[in-house]
Chains A and B, each alone.
Chain A
Amino acid sequence: MRYLQGNWLAIAAPGGGALLPPDFALEKAMELWDDLRDGCGFSAVLQHLMAVSGSSLVDLPQFAIAVHEDADVHIALRGPLRLTGRAASGDVQVSGLDITTWHEERVVRPTELCMVVVANDEGEHLAWLPLTGGIVRAGALELLAPAVVEIAPEDVPPPPPPPPTPSPSEVVEPPKPSHTGATTLMPDDDADDEVPLHSTTFFADMFADPDAVRPAVPSSAADDDHDGMTVVSLAAEDDHDGMTVLSWPSGPAESPTPQVAAAPIAGPTVLARLCGSCGAPNPTQKVACRICGAALTGDAVRIPRPRLGTITLPSGEFMAIEHPLVIGRRPEVSRFSATDVPVVVKVDDPHISSTHLKVDLEDWSVLVTNLGLNGTILRRPGQPDRGMGDGETVLAQVGDVYDIGSGAALTIAELA
């Protein structure tokens, strides 16, 4: 999806999108966003909008809503808004002007779909910015775009190349180190580019350059550790180029054991459906691509697990969610293999337990478990803060803050 900056409130999620007037309450916008993220149907979203606005037509705001329903898009609009696009039946042009109620329609198999605020004539001169999900100030929101996407060069990373599909006869090659020195066990180093987390959400500025959030974790250096927090490098002592995970050692020849004919993918894998439009991998239960919004067809394939998001460590640094994580004063790490070496984060504070918090990756899910004696407080946007139970595991959501005490916290900055 893409958007043009403007004054209105654009809500975007894998389930669909909406445009709401500039003065629309943010908390209500968050609720609608939750609906779209949870995959609520068109009727539910529309009813929710009406419920938060008031019972009479006078109270109903101007709006545009679009909700994916299989390969179709169910839309409604009211006010100075236009919906344009292309579908199997031809061009789509719908206006919300001069209607007391609202215009509603189910657009059949659109390939392009865009909602625009009519007053925003300046749209032509602004750059389209990418958006995977969130709430932004916009004058237009593009939900579906044709396969070739033109993006303005400034501030925006290029669209991802289609991920390599490992063929059954492909032999697992030893990996090349990726750009920040983190060596991962994937058959092709370019697999790192599969998931273009170039999203802009509330934290737009931080993620303008996805490379900026690759693990830029310094190796352990106790003397310049002012805050007593260290991220541990599990590498050789003289490895100062950042986090290194156990690498699959390369043998004397490039190919590993000759007896292995059909090599399974080394390392953690997930089942995914690949978007036919932009190539991004998606969880199998999604119906629309989380990156470009195109309808997902095709069978599930097993691929190396892509980056699942970004975490903010207690030190304030960002780290990609690619490996399990353990945080504590002197954390213990239980059963792992060479292909999934957890990152160990030490926080030197007596109030924090030896092993306090664990982040595990299961398929596409990020799970956070509290193991701390003094507990962990979960601060989740839109919900009251609560203490996690002893040993309790939660499914992480974007914006979650896991407060382990003494000013140390782990934040889920973004999720794929």
Chain B
Amino acid sequence: MSGTVRVDSASGTDVGKQRTLNEDAVLDHCPVFIVADGMGGHEAGEIASAIVVEEMSVISQGQPTLDGVGDALHRAKLRIDELSARGAKRPAGTTVSGVVMVMLDGDPYWLVVNLGDSRTYHVARGEVSQVSVDHSEVQEMIDAGRLDAGQAHTYDRRNVITRVLGAGTPERPDYWLLPVADHDRWLVCSDGLTAEVPDDVIARTLVSEDTPQAIVDSLISASLMAGGHDNVSVIVVDAWRNGADAVVETTVELAGQDDYEHTIKYLPTEGAGS
């Protein structure tokens, strides 16, 4: 089985209106798309999110695998823990959420990874669904039936997260594997978006025909207009799968500052012969 997947992505990040430091980090480098929201005193959060982006960008240079993603997260976790050991008052940590395209027996799949309360949404056939499950106290309350989704926005401990990368705890990310469809769209964002902008506004923007860049700009500006209380980061990824045997050369076109198209050519795995 061979074919191509054409990927078009865009991303953006903003410190927001209330903070002086942007502790979010974004990796938008096909086939790895990750948002990380760092935390910890003395700029440790900024460094923590940068570390996980750095480790994930290493694996984005080749063909990532499930094992590779796990290894990268673990390496990042060890480095992040060192930050705390050097005397930071609050343990350094970061969320990490996003999608990675992996090959499962010659078949392209999206590997969704999530740790913390940043989010990854999937848009398919005009419907938006949140794939990642928040590791937050709010989510636990909702799961336990003690809070309904409508109350989540005003719950006073909504910023408490229950799992994180770093902070001296073993990392326990969640994973999903979804086969790459004929056409997919993904949204990866930090809670600076979802805590400020209502879900229906996000959904309407996502199902529109707009380009990834236009959607990124629109969502960030919506978050700032709603108050910009936190750093906000957004990645939008579009993918089209072509199962035909035609081989298309890898192209990288820079159309606009943050826009590029990246074509992935996928072939059967080594053992099958080229």
Binds A, one of B40-48, B60-68, B211-219, B250-258: B60-68
Instruction: Using CB atoms, name the residue of chain A closest to B268.
Output: A222
Partner of B67, one of A244, A332, A335: A244
Q: Give chain A residues whose Cβ lies under 8 Å from the Cβ of B273.
A: 223
Nearest Cβ on chain A to B273's Cβ, whole angstroms:
5
Q: Give chain B residues whose Cβ lies under 8 Å from the Cβ of A246.
A: 66-67, 70
Given contacts A222-B1, A251-B78, A260-B170, contact A330 B176 (CB under 8 A): no
Partner of B104, one of A232, A266, A334: A232
Nearest Cβ on chain A to B272's Cβ, whole angstroms:
4
Nearest Cβ on chain A to B73's Cβ, whole angstroms:
8
Instruction: Using CB atoms, name the residue of chain A closest to B180.
Output: A330
Q: Give chain A residues whose Cβ lies under 8 Å from the Cβ of B133.
A: 335
User: Is the CB–CB distance between B67 and A337 below 8 Å?
Assistant: no
User: Is the CB–CB distance between A237 and B65 below 8 Å?
Assistant: yes
User: Is the CB–CB distance between B177 and A332 below 8 Å?
Assistant: yes
Complex Cα–Cα for A232 and B177 (A)? 13
Query: When each residue 255-270 of chain B gets 1 if its CB lies under 8 Å from chain A and 0 otherwise, what string results?
Result: 0000000000000111
Complex Cα–Cα for A333 and B179 (A)? 9
Q: Give chain B residues whose Cβ lies under 8 Å from the Cβ of A346.
A: 105, 107
Instruction: Using CB atoms, name the residue of chain A closest to B113.
Output: A338
Q: Give chain B residues whose Cβ lies under 8 Å from the Cβ of A223.
A: 268, 271-273
User: Is the CB–CB distance between B172 and A219 below 8 Å?
Assistant: no
Nearest Cβ on chain B to A317's Cβ, whole angstroms:
15
Nearest Cβ on chain A to B243's Cβ, whole angstroms:
11
Q: Which of A135-149 contact B (CB under 8 A)?
A: none
User: Is the CB–CB distance between A237 and B269 below 8 Å?
Assistant: yes
Query: When each residue 139-173 of chain B gets 1 if its CB lies under 8 Å from chain A and 0 otherwise, what string results?
Result: 00000000000000000000000000000111011
> Does B199 count as interface, using CB distance less than 8 angstroms?
no
Query: When each residue 227-245 of chain A gets 1 if its CB lies under 8 Å from chain B and 0 otherwise, what string results?
Result: 0001011111110100010
Nearest Cβ on chain A to B67's Cβ, whole angstroms:
6
Count contacts between A and B, CB distance < 8 Å: 101
> Does B10 count as interface, using CB distance less than 8 angstroms?
no
Q: Which residues of B contact A (CB under 8 A)?
A: 1, 63, 65-68, 70-71, 74-75, 78, 81, 103-107, 133, 168-170, 172-179, 268-273
Q: Which residues of A contact B (CB under 8 A)?
A: 219-223, 230, 232-238, 240, 244, 246-249, 251-252, 256-257, 259-260, 266, 330-338, 341, 344, 346, 354
Instruction: Using CB atoms, name the residue of chain A closest to B104.
Output: A232
Q: Give chain B residues whose Cβ lies under 8 Å from the Cβ of A332.
A: 176-179
Given contacts A235-B67, A335-B176, contact A249 B74 (CB under 8 A): yes
User: Is the CB–CB distance between A236 and B177 below 8 Å?
Assistant: no
User: Is the CB–CB distance between A222 and B174 below 8 Å?
Assistant: no
Nearest Cβ on chain A to B53's Cβ, whole angstroms:
18
User: Is the CB–CB distance between A233 and B105 below 8 Å?
Assistant: yes
Residue of A236, A248, A336, A338 with most partner-chain B CB within 10 A: A338
User: Is the CB–CB distance between B269 and A220 below 8 Å?
Assistant: yes
Q: Give chain A residues whose Cβ lies under 8 Å from the Cβ of B70.
A: 246-247, 249, 338
Residue of A222, A331, A344 with most partner-chain B CB within 10 A: A222
**Closest 6 pairs (CB-CB, A-B):** A220-B105, A221-B271, A259-B168, A222-B272, A333-B177, A330-B179
Q: Give chain A residues whose Cβ lies under 8 Å from the Cβ of B107.
A: 330, 346
Residue of B1, B67, B81 with most partner-chain A CB within 10 A: B67
User: Is the CB–CB distance between B67 and A234 below 8 Å?
Assistant: yes
Q: Give chain A residues whose Cβ lies under 8 Å from the Cβ of B173.
A: 337-338
Partner of B169, one of A260, A330, A335, A338: A260
Complex Cα–Cα for A266 and B170 (A)? 10
User: Is the CB–CB distance between A252 and B78 below 8 Å?
Assistant: yes
Q: Give chain A residues whose Cβ lies under 8 Å from the Cβ of B66.
A: 234-235, 246, 341
User: Is the CB–CB distance between B175 and A222 below 8 Å?
Assistant: no
Please, could you name 19 A-B residue pairs with CB atoms under 8 Å apart, sorted by A? Answer: A222-B272, A223-B271, A223-B272, A232-B104, A233-B105, A237-B103, A246-B67, A247-B67, A256-B170, A259-B169, A260-B168, A260-B169, A332-B176, A332-B178, A333-B175, A336-B175, A336-B176, A337-B174, A344-B104
Nearest Cβ on chain B to A189's Cβ, whole angstroms:
18
Q: Give chain A residues whose Cβ lies under 8 Å from the Cβ of B78.
A: 251-252
Instruction: Using CB atoms, name the residue of chain A closest to B66.
Output: A234
Instruction: Using CB atoms, name the residue of chain B closest to A344.
Output: B104
Complex Cα–Cα for A232 and B271 (A)? 13
Known: A335-B175, A354-B179. 6 other contacts (CB 8 A): A238-B270, A246-B67, A246-B70, A333-B176, A333-B178, A337-B174
Q: Give chain A residues whose Cβ lies under 8 Å from the Cβ of B168.
A: 257, 259-260
Nearest Cβ on chain B to A205's Cβ, whole angstroms:
31
Given contacts A249-B74, A252-B78, contact A234 B172 (CB under 8 A): no
Nearest Cβ on chain A to B87's Cβ, whole angstroms:
15
Q: Give chain B residues whose Cβ lies under 8 Å from the Cβ of A344.
A: 104, 177
Q: Give chain B residues whose Cβ lies under 8 Å from the Cβ of A331.
A: 179
Nearest Cβ on chain A to B140's Cβ, whole angstroms:
15
Partner of A236, one of B68, B169, B268: B68
Instruction: Using CB atoms, name the residue of chain A closest to B84.
Output: A259
Instruction: Using CB atoms, name the residue of chain B closest to A256.
Output: B170
User: Is the CB–CB distance between A236 and B67 below 8 Å?
Assistant: yes
